[in-house]
Chains A and B, each alone.
Chain A
């Protein structure tokens, strides 16, 4: 276990549904990340949060809405998704400062299928 948990592990939703992905880290980190991993494509960074503030939005469509209520929790709210949004969504955390700030710890991911 990496100290980063994600729920649910699997999610199937229709294009008109609204759902949320949850990530929690127990490592005392203050930076959290959302990544998207699609088949046959490199892992794509979506959002970065430092000390609860969003510091990076990698041109992600507005149908993905992140929320970071505190340094330990990160959500990804989903609405009116498209079938091409089906992917593995990975959460990660790291220190925001210091020598090890670039080592990221990943959760197991949520496998999302959009019908």
Chain B
């Protein structure tokens, strides 16, 4: 299985701090994606990083990918209360099959 596994399962920080979440996977991938899900809602695509990329930025988000270690990290800088959500990594090994991890539950305290 190339299931992504996020770490930590839950993270609670103060508003303004940075949040870092990690994802590990098992097999080779075409790309890795991060999604956010607010409670009981659908997922929102945040960022995609291809297997030949090492780092990518989008606003306050920074994603890294280390294919040799089969791991990725998502950094959210200057966190806000609105960032409270679950964050999932999803690996794409081809054929439109995204395999999701169990997610990190992020809580931003005011």
Cα distance A110–B8 in the bound complex, in angstroms: 28
Within 8 A of B (CB), among A41-66: 41-43, 45, 48, 50, 55-56
Interface residues of A (CB under 8 A from B): 2, 4, 6, 31, 33, 40-43, 45, 48, 50, 55-56, 88, 90, 92, 94, 96, 101-109, 111
Taking a contact as CB atoms closer than 8 A, the residue among A2, A4, A42, A50 that contacts B96 in the complex is A50
A31 to B97 Cα, complex, angstroms = 12
B85 at the binding interface (Cβ < 8 Å): no
B100 interface contact, C-beta 8 A: yes
- The DSSP consensus for interface residues of chain A is strand
CB within 8 Å of A: which residues of B? 3, 30-31, 33, 35, 40-45, 48, 88, 90, 92, 95-103
Q: How far is the CA of A2 from the CA of B37 in the complex (A)?
A: 12
Contact between B96 and A94, CB atoms less than 8 A apart: yes
In the complex, given contacts A50-B96, A102-B31, A103-B45, what are 19 additional A-B residue pairs having Cβ atoms less than 8 angstroms apart?
Answer: A4-B42, A6-B42, A42-B3, A42-B102, A43-B90, A45-B98, A45-B99, A56-B97, A90-B43, A92-B43, A102-B33, A102-B48, A102-B96, A103-B33, A105-B45, A106-B45, A108-B41, A109-B40, A109-B42
With A and B bound together, what is the CA distance between A45 and B3 in angstroms? 12
Complex alpha-carbon distance, A41 and B103, angstroms: 9
Residues of B within 8 A of A50 (CB): 96
- Given A90-B43, A111-B40, the answer on whether A104 and B98 have CB atoms closer than 8 Å is yes
